[in-house]
Structure 1
Amino acid sequence: MVQREKISITLCLWVVAMAFFIQPLYAQQPVLFDPHETFKSMSYPPDDLYRTANGRPGVGYWQNKADYKIVGSFDTLSRVFSAKMIVTYTNNSPHDLHEIWIGLAQNRFRKDSRASALTPINGSRFGIQEYTEGFVFDRVSVPGKSRSQLAKAAYELMNDQLKIDLPNTLKPSKSVTLSLNYHFTLPVKGSDFMGVMPSLNGSIYQISSWFPRVVVYDNIKGWNTNAGYYVEPGKLDYSINVPSEMIVQGTGSLVNPREVLTKLQYDRLMTAAKSDTTVQIRRPEEINLSTAKSPGSRSIWHFKADNAGDAIFAISKAFIWDAVKVNIPGKAPALAMSLYPMESNFAVWQESAQSMKKILENYSKLWGAYPYATAVNIGGLVTGIAGPGACFLYYKSNGMANGVWPILNHELGHNWFNIMVAGNGRHGWMVEGLNSFINHVNGEQLKRQTAFEMPDAVQWLTKAKPGQTAATPAELVTYNNFALLSYMKPAIAINLLRTQVLGAERFDPAFRGFIADWKFKHPMPSDFFRYMESATGEDLSWFWQSWFMNDWRLDQSLTEVAYVDNRSEKGINIKLLNKGKMVMPVVVEVIEFNGNINRVKLPAEIWQKGPEWVFHYPSTTTVISVKIDPDQRLPDQDYSNNTWQGNSVRKSVPAGVTAKKIVEQYLHAVGGRNKAMKVFTADLEYFKLVDEVEYVLIRTVNEGQYDTEIRLSSLPYPLHKYTTKESDVRYRQMGTQMELNTTQKKSIQQMCQLFPELQLLESDMQLEETIQNINGTDVYVLHLDRGKPGERKCYYEVSSGLKVKEVYLGAEDFNLLYSSLDIAEYKPVNGLLLPHTLILKRAGENIVMLKKKQFKLTIN
């Protein structure tokens, strides 16, 4: 993951009664923004009976239906799958149909296939690695002169499509029954969505694209030949004949469990259907126990599913089989099942059924009830694919972004997009992008890692080269852009629509309504755009134009901050500039010296009149900093022009000011050198609450010994502990003693003291010749050990003498207490001024702002 950077902000304490300005940033770069282009209205198809102007299915919306009944048999030795399929196709359209098109996904493995020709010379994940004959048809039949008769059909084989000419026109509201007998050889290497994996206890056969599927006929294109994944939901009834020692699981509910399971397995399955605790249907020690009725005997596994125009399943005798109940709001519970081999990452996979339960329950609560009675997860060679109510995962998936949980979260999410909301896979963002968005929300709510972290995705997007748009048809997206345009960019966009533009309270009901209204239907991108606008009452043309229809970039900047009449108590005027063609709402954070931190949110419509916008912020004291997009949620092309922290003018240090005098001024400001030297005991505790866990910094003084700890309240031991007494310096990380060199010891010894200035030697200090302005405050800059290992900079406020910042200038050192420390909100404790706010940055870690929790201090 990309290391995320945050900008440290110091809270200063003393009023500086002056006006602050900054020069326009990067003025030489042209402003590309034109409000007439960005805010022009989207051009949508005309409203009609089928699809309404508000993005909903119309009163005349129609959708054809394909119901499948398949009787199949698999030979584990030859890997040949043979089947007889009857498909009942209902024409709900207003058109006469003279032919039916069938998609033949197995034909991609033929040597002469389009997929084979399009596989790069160096291969690709979904490229062709092994050739077969594809689907071989033994018989294709259509109704004869009477309903009870079947006649050989006239058909044409066109690469991976089959065109069946109907002997009689299929009229509106009528159905036709086709019969197809076929067989194919399952490839061992099946383009990472099917294949065979050897296992210690027998091969695992993962099978997808295993029956000829009727192509979707819709009111947009007619027959969607050569489309992406685009499925006509219907009734599915299939049975698989396999050796009786095999287990079969996949899409659909098992109709005949008593016939294929042992009594013990059946009883466990019935128990699991009512249990919130995982039940093992087949345990590891039972794998090699024969369940065959007799040598060479076979079993028929029979499954049914509604609204499933596709199916995937797996066959093996090597499976461990876990199951648990899934509670679905408003409907009967579902059953989640996970099957995996012994040599999988066992501990992780043992938790997978419970992971499925949590994922499906939360998706159902957020976006609508899970639509199937079962959900099956199968471990094997395939990295990760989904079908209705089933998914394949790589059996060695373990942790991080490619672990079982993130992939399960993604593949199970496909039951909402694009199985329940059955969009056309040519619109990649409607399939993978909307799914990746709900994956992110699910991971956020369940506090689990997703395939990519949103801040990292935003950073990636800011660095992506200009090129294709998210609306580019999937087949035209280049390999380099596939992950960005199909997954990340649309997920970022919809997340920002939810969090930055509409707010979850408006977005969620609208998004939930879109899913409900288009459940098992075929929405187009324009339907989604219109629906979200209608349901939220917003014209979002600027958003769709920026994120989907064009590859526009965002560059919002601060160009000027000025006090009204040069008086801090009258507030400030802030000038913003939108330089790129993309627009977004602007979040502006203003920090005042008195500790007030406020945010102003401005809608995207501020840019409708032009590229500049000026607004007034009613500050009453000196402003420390102004920042737009303070959390870096937006893919801004240039974060350097997003922050104002005082002017850049440097002034000469007055004559007579020396490093020694600055140190003495600091010691006088905090209460005097004598009082600072007499601190006998101290116990200072700072904290930050993160997700109900306290991040705590504890500084302790006891008779000359200084202890500094960084702890998490959820752990019984410190993450970091530093102990210094005279020349003795020790550091323990997670309880382990770390070796320190001389430079590290010296730096740590000074960092851990309450007032390190008491020990500074004049020979170690060097004063810069100019006064700098940071965070709106004039400061002296003091170098410690300049030009030597361990060099640091300390910043002391000119007006008060107090230290406001310290920065370590050496290479990143993970053993040091901090690499930078901002110090603010000094308040008296027993006659000494102590900082009540610390902004701590450790090497390799994010910045954390710590506030006083409790202070105890005794002085001799």
Structure 2
Amino acid sequence: MRLTLLTTSLLFIGLSQLSFGQKEAYNNNKFKQLDQELPTPNAYRTGSGAPGHEYWQQKADYVINASLDETIHQLKGEEKITYTNNSPNTLKYLWIQLDQNMRAKDSNTYKIQQNKIKDKVSPNGIQSIEGYPEYDGGHKIEAVTDKNGNPIPFIINQTMMRVDIASPLLPTETVEVNIKWHFNINDRTLMGGRGGYESFADGNSLYTITQWYPRMAVYDDVNGWQNKQFLGNGEFALTFGDYDVKLTVPADHIVAATGVLQDSSILSEKQLERIQKAKFAEKPVEIVTHKEAIKNEKKKDKGTKTWHYKAENVRDFALGSSRKFIWDAMGVEVDGKRVMAMSYYPKEAYELYNRYSTEAVAHTLEVYSKFTFTYPYPVAISVEADNGMEYPMICFNYGRVDEKGHYSKRTKYGMLSVIIHEVGHNYFPMIVNSDERQWTWMDEGLNSFLQFLAEQEWEEGYPSMEGFPELITDYMKGNPDNISPIMTNSESIHQFGYNAYSKPATALNILRETVMGRELFDYAFKEYAKRWKFKHPTPADFFRTMEDASGVDLDWFWRGWFYTIEPCDISIKNVQFEDFNTQDPSIEEPKRKSERDEQPLTITEIHNTEENLPRRIDRKPELKDFYNTYDPLDVSKEETEKYKRYSSSLNENDKQWIKEGHFVYQVDFENVGGLVMPIIIELQYADGSKDKKYIPAEIWKKDDKVVSKVFVCDKAIKQFVLDPNRETADIDTFNNYFPRKENTSRFKLYKANH
């Protein structure tokens, strides 16, 4: 056929538009694989989500000597870092984190905070805007030297310090860096923060010493140096190593710390006896009793003591120090290994912590080990410090009582949840060492999910605040301008708590209960934890491992829940009922007659009847013929013979199935929210019985807007209900019913004042 220039152009445009349309449809396909979003597998990280055969990671060992000056709230110290380059790359310089510099006077953390003038503002509020100008915060670096005492050039950029080592560090080589420093400890009750000091009315202080020493930044195969600035939300990316720490404190202080105490002579004989008793006790034993702690508060010994702790293969080191501490402990057996669960707390928390804290620590170790791996460290510590933050083997929590020792239900369960959560962080990210500076959800979300499982194993009806799908619906249906995808950098997240904690925890619970099932999910999740224990995983490693170990394609789930902000809102758009046609005229024709007879009269017929309208045929019966008495729905001989021929072609099973009788319904489902999810529908029958059907999310593959499903039932259905057990975080339950339920609300009668 001859094509003119115009025809050719139109054809080209049409083909181009068709191609573009196909590409657009593919790019918007909710079941498109995540190939473009995930990094290309390599020798370090495989396509299965496992570490590759050439996986490597760096090592940083620390020897630290520090002292606490309680009179001026200052910590000073010297440290030796031995850094091992296990990478295949040569390093010209090292990056070291100075996290205390977030509180320095010129910190960008204060500069980038948005502020508004309020009707009422406290002096503390004004000070916080200006970064507490009276407080001289930040690491004060006094010296950086090599192993021979020679100065090493360095430059400080906000919370990061670049150390320009004398010669390039080759693969497999080590380098020693010595740093002398001090900083002024912040008043945590005034300024907030993960660490600091709290002063009590009795004149004593409680110290939580965190982010306190210059720490090596992570260098890995994904980012090179992870030297993003510490601004506050994005927490920490840290390197594993061994720690040898000596801390000199006031002589009557009790020090709780990461690791194992090396010099037991610092404890009394009674305390040592109590520790031995606690190792195999059925309930916590007080090492420092309530009575002794009160005595310590009042006595205030002079002089100092040095507490010496060592910890192996940890990514960080933290401690608590106070003369106010009551200390209890109990040995807990985890997979045949005995771990010391311990708690340190002031008398202001005694009635709660003495009863629950160490038990909660033990419970967390047992449940988390079941779902991941056996807890590898010798101790796990909960410290009451009126806040919540986690470190290897030690965490800081809240839960105080009133003057009479009473506490509310909210305080009790809030305390239990925060202890479970913070102790649980030993697994994520202290051991499965994800990059918190970049991906908060990888530690907070996964940990919040396991926290939910542990809470539900604490007691029936535990009032969990995260995990149940219905608890996330208000957030999911909120203003999209104020919601971020889970896959957002830690410092850029809207609604931090919902995004980093609640939504990923809920997503994993839905994945476990509804999408994958417990058996497949639990195996895959445990495989991820074991693969990346004491390593540095990325989101891709998690996504790929969950699929690899389960055999379930979850790219649609990761894309919807983690890369978009679309909510789940599936509606039963329409239901069509078709009575099953048996082909037997003796059965079907009476049904049609019944349907015909049930049809309402037209308004004309009603009025004609009311007027008793006279008709000609009634006045002249001779006008009637065969068709005036004939019923077209009567069974004819031809129909009977036709059915006999059809029936003879059926086997006995088919005949029995037809004889039983069936009802056929077509249900149309509309994806209003945009997030594709499995369809869980409950068929509520007229006889009061129920039947729940599960339709995988893949039903939306060819059309993610509207899909239809036919249900063949042997009983009549009176109601269709979507997601009857609230499994999918559906934000609008009104459209989950067909027929729709009446949307009623209760109102109060009141007496008007006249």
Q: Answer whether contact 1:35 1:609 (CA < 8 A) is retained.
A: no
Q: Indicate the structure with greater strand content.
A: 1
Q: Paired residue for 2:250?
A: 243
Q: Determine the structure 2 residue equivalent to 1:191.
A: 192
Equivalence for 1:252: 259
What does 1:453-602 correspond to in 2, within 5 Å?
454-466=468-480, 467-478=483-494, 481-565=495-579, 569-602=662-695
Maintained 8 Å contact 1:592/1:619? no
**Corresponding residue to 2:464 among 444, 450, 462:** 450
The structure whose Rg is larger is 2
Partner of 2:326: 320
2:224 matches 1:210 = no
**1:393-428 deviations in Å (ceiling 9; x for gaps):** 134275437621010111111111111111111111
Could you tell me which amino acid in structure 2 is paired with residue 389 of structure 1? M
Retained in 2: the 8 A contact 1:137–1:180?
A: yes
Aligned pair partner of 1:298 in 304, 321, 326: 304
Alignment RMSD: 2.8
Q: 1:294 to 1:429 in 2, by over 3 A?
A: closer
Separation (CA, whole Å) in 2 of partners of 1:70 and 1:238:
5
Aligned: 1:396 with 2:400: yes
Q: Secondary structure of the residue that 2:167 maps to in structure 1?
A: strand
Q: Distance in 2 between matches of 1:519 and 1:214?
A: 20
Residues 580 and 664, structure 2, Cα contact 8 Å, conserved in 1: no
Does structure 1 residue 340 correspond to structure 2 residue 354?
no
* Change in CA separation of 1:158 and 1:462 when aligned onto 2, cut-off 3 Å: closer
Contact 1:345 / 1:395 at 8 angstroms: preserved in 2?
no
The question of 1:613 aligning with 2:722 is answered no
Partner of 2:154: 155
TM superposition shift of 1:294: 11
Partner-residue secondary structure (3-state), 2:400: coil
Paired position in structure 2 for 1:181: 180
Match of 1:81 in 2: 75
Specify which of 95, 98, 102 is matched with residue 104 of structure 1: 98
Within a 5 Å distance, the mapping from 1:648-687 to structure 2 comes to none
**3-state DSSP of counterpart to 1:615:** strand
Change in CA separation of 1:107 and 1:809 when aligned onto 2, cut-off 3 Å: closer
Q: Could you say if the C-alpha distance between residues 540 and 214 of structure 1 is closer, same or farther in structure 2, counting changes exceeding 3 Å?
A: same
* CA distance in 1 between partners of 2:257 and 2:269 (Å): 21
Matched to 1:256, the amino acid is D
Q: What is the letter of the counterpart of residue 737 of structure 2?
A: T
> In the superposition, relative to structure 1, how do residues 812 and 595 fare at CA in structure 2: closer, same or farther (>3 Å)?
farther
Cα distance, 1:125 vs. partner?
Answer: 14
Query: Aligned to 2:182, what secondary structure does the other structure show?
Result: strand
Partner SS, residue 270 of structure 2: helix
Conserved 8 A contact 1:231-1:310: yes
Question: Conserved in 1, the CA contact under 8 Å of 2:719 and 2:738?
Answer: yes
Q: Secondary structure at the match of 1:267?
A: helix
1:111 Cα offset (Å): 0.6
| TM-score of the two chains, using structure 2 as the length reference | 0.77
1:56 aligns with 2:67: no
Q: Map Cα deviations across residues 61-120 of structure 1 (whole Å, 9 max, x no partner).
A: 010011111111111111121111011100000000110110001111111012232344
In structure 1, what is the equivalent of residue 16 of structure 2?
none
- Check if 1:68 corresponds to 2:62: yes
Q: Which amino acid aligns with 1:506?
A: L
Counterpart of 1:272? 278
Equivalent-residue separation in structure 2 for 1:329 and 1:486 (angstroms): 31
SS of the residue corresponding to residue 439 of structure 1 reads helix
Distance in 1 (alpha carbons) for counterparts of 2:475 and 2:339: 38
Of stretches 623-632 and 198-207 in structure 1, the one that deviates more from structure 2 is: 198-207
Q: 2:29 aligned to 15, 37, 41, which one? A: 37
Change (3 A) 1:618 1:295: closer
Q: Which amino acid aligns with 2:79?
A: M
- d(CA) in 1 for partners of 2:745 and 2:254? 62
> Unaligned stretches of 5+ in structure 2?
1-23, 117-124, 402-406, 582-660
Once the 2 structures are TM-superposed, how far is the Cα of residue 498 of structure 1 from its aligned partner? Answer: 1.0
**From 720, 734, 739, the counterpart of 1:626:** 720
Distance verdict in 2 for CA 1:237–1:125, change over 3 Å: farther
Distance 2:689 2:393 in 1: 52
* CA distance in 2: counterparts of 1:573 and 1:294, whole angstroms: 79
CA contact (8 A) 1:239 1:303 kept: yes
| Match in the other structure for 2:733 | 639
Aligned equivalents of 1:77, 1:544: Cα separation in 2:
52
Give the 3-state SS of the residue equivalent to 1:150 in structure 2.
coil
Conservation of the 8 A alpha-carbon contact between 2:137 and 2:186? no
Q: Provide the rounded CA distance (Å) in 1 between the counterparts of 2:340 and 2:372.
A: 19
Find the counterpart in structure 1 of residue 404 from structure 2. none
| Distance in 1, Cα, partners of 2:242 & 2:746 | 68
1:274 CA drift (Å) = 2.0
Q: Is the 8 A contact 1:33 1:580 kept in 2?
A: no
Letter of the 2:710 counterpart: H
CA contact (8 A) 1:201 1:318 kept: no
Partner of 2:419: 408
Deviation at 1:321, TM superposition (A): 0.9
Distance in 2 (CA, whole Å) between partners of 1:509 and 1:396 is: 39
- Measured in 1, the distance between the counterparts of 2:128 and 2:57 equals 30
The CA distance in 1 between the partners of 2:287 and 2:115, in whole Å, is 45
TM-aligned CA distance change 1:198 to 1:488, over 3 Å: same
Instruction: Please name the residue that 2:226 is paired with.
Output: 224
Percent identity between matched residues is 31
CA drift of 1:563 comes to 2.7
Q: Give the residue type in structure 1 aligned to 2:396.
A: F
**Range with greater deviation from structure 2 (287-296 or 584-593):** 287-296
Measure how far apart 1:345 and its partner are: 5.7
Alpha-carbon distance change, 809 to 341 in structure 1, aligned in 2, over 3 angstroms: closer
- Structure 1 residue 619, shift from structure 2 partner: 2.0
Change (3 A) 1:392 1:506: same
Instruction: Indicate conservation of the 8 Å contact 1:201/1:288, yes or no.
Output: no
Distance 1:288 1:493, change over 3 A: closer
Deviations 1:230-285 (A, max 9, x none): 1111111111111211100021111222x211110111012112223110111111
Give secondary structure in 1 for the equivalent of 2:418.
helix
Contact 1:262–1:291 at 8 Å: present in 2 too?
no
**Residue type matched to 1:178 in 2?**
V
Q: How many residues align?
A: 615
**Structure 2 SS opposite 1:449:** coil
In structure 1, what is the Cα distance between the partners aligned to 2:399 and 2:127? 17
Q: What one-letter code is carried by the residue in structure 1 that aligns with 2:714?
A: T
1:113 maps to: 107
- Per the TM alignment, residue 449 of structure 1 is displaced from its structure 2 partner at its CA by 3.4
Query: Structure 2: which amino acid aligns with 1:231?
Result: L
1:126·1:192 contact (CA, 8 Å) conserved in 2?
no
For 1:372, the aligned partner's letter is Y
TM-score normalised according to structure 1 size: 0.68
How far apart in 2 are the matches of 1:124 and 1:619? 69
The structural deviation recorded for 1:124 is 12
Cα distance in 1, alignment partners of residues 309 and 486 from structure 2: 38
Note the residue ranges of structure 1 that are not aligned, 5 or more in a row: 1-31, 144-148, 647-773, 776-806, 814-860
Name the CA distance, whole Å, in 1 between partners of 2:377 and 2:667: 54
